[in-house]
Amino acid sequence: MTRQLMKKADAAMAATYMRFPLTIVKGEGCHLYDSEGNRYIDFLAGIAVCNLGHAHPEVAAALTEQANRLWHVSNLYYTEPQTALAEWLVKRSFADRVFFCNSGAEANEAAIKLARKYFYDKGQSERYRIIAMEMSFHGRTLATLTATGQDKIKKGFAPLPDGFDHVPFNDLTALRAKIGPATAAVLMEPILGEGGVLLPEPGYIKKVREICDKHGLLLIFDEIQTGIGRTGRLFAYENFDVVPDIMTLAKALANGLPMGAMLATEKVVAAFDAGSHATTFGGTPIVSAAALKVMQVIEEKGIVARGCETGAYFKQKLVGLQKKHASIVDVRGMGLLLGAELNREGASVVAACQQKGFLINCIQEKILRFAPPLVIEKEAIDALVDCLDEIL
């Protein structure tokens, strides 16, 4: 069945993905099942998306209930699920207002547009440039691709939009040097996810905030991968005691349904007046209902605290593995966003784990990334570590 489906898929769809030879047919909790009946423990969660695991019964029930009532009416009208979700996010974050969209890239596009519109409305239209970080990842639209600090994914798409500058992550001197009269904002991931699970040095995030305040710049946090409990707090910025002006979310927001969000303070978001930005599908009733239930379950069942504790346990186990195997040169991360850097390519390790029933992935060729559901059990972590021990 898998070979037949692969053949059909490869013939019918654009070849933009290097897919594994698996046909996933079912998910339940932290497990996935393929068409051959094999079971896998999922340590990737759809790339940091399914924080509650797969087919969560309470989310499924909320989705089903809303599906029998109302799916879509566009944003020409008010709906209850969207309003309730917006209130929940505002109440539990720094932000005063939310703009809903469909993906992380769209959320970052909205943030970029808002930063420019903010200065335009202040009579400073010359301030439009955004400083981003090298090795960052912000999306694959033309603007977010340009904001991304990895040249390898930009090849073939020139000319790219003007208005973006890049500096090394953790380099305050380079950041200060790049700021000029045209600079409007700093856009950054609090932890570089696709760039290699790179953590900020102590005090770095606070210094970036201070620099932005000194020069009148907006600070935008891309929390698409780090948000919704992934780093041991509901939002990663809480780990650093720093508040941004704008924040973007997606991935885990609706536990697998397509949803993105841009959150901002009242002062900044006022620049988005009627007609200045819009989306047809953003925050539809059916997706909002699912996302609201995700948020409620995360809060009511203490999922963030649980993920924080489990993440610390997982990291400790990986550090123990590093002491045993010279091929692991570094273990880093926060919460349940962890990376183990190897001194060789990691694709073969990923393939070997898959053969043994564990799904992980490799980024930047040598870094094994682990982003399991926040409900992963310690027994599953032990089993993966034993598997990696054997493979290495």
Task: Show pLDDT as tens, one digit a residue, over the chain (392 residues).
Answer: 678 888 888 899 999 888 998 999 999 999 999 999 999 999 999 999 999 999 999 999 999 999 999 999 999 999 999 999 999 999 999 999 999 999 999 999 999 999 999 999 999 999 999 999 999 999 999 999 999 999 999 999 999 999 999 999 999 999 999 999 999 999 999 999 999 999 999 999 999 999 999 999 999 999 999 999 999 999 999 999 999 999 999 999 999 999 999 999 999 999 999 999 999 999 999 999 999 999 999 999 999 999 999 999 999 999 999 999 999 999 999 999 999 999 999 999 999 999 999 999 999 999 999 999 999 999 999 999 999 999 99
pTM, 2 dp:
0.96
DSSP 118: H
Largest Cα separation within the chain, whole Å, is: 62
**What pLDDT is attached to residue 1?**
67
Contact 114, 271 (CB under 8 A): yes
- Euclidean distance between CA atoms 246 and 113, whole angstroms: 11
- Euclidean distance between CA atoms 367 and 291, whole angstroms: 31
- Euclidean distance between CA atoms 368 and 365, whole angstroms: 8
Q: What is the CA radius of gyration of the chain?
A: 21
List residues with catalytic annotation: 137, 222, 251
Comparing CA positions, the residue from 245, 253, 246 lying closest to residue 228 is 253
Comparing CA positions, the residue from 188, 191, 67 lying closest to residue 130 is 188
Listed in sequence order, the residues at least 6 apart from 63 whose beta carbon sits closer than 8 Å to its beta carbon are 257, 286, 289, 290, 293
How many residues are present in the chain? 392
- Euclidean distance between CA atoms 381 and 392, whole angstroms: 16
Contact 286, 313 (CB under 8 A): no
Q: Does domain 70-300 have CATH number 3.40.1160.10?
A: no
Delimit the domains of the chain by residue range.
2-56+302-391, 70-300
Domain 2-56+302-391 fold = Aspartate Aminotransferase, domain 1 (3.90.1150)
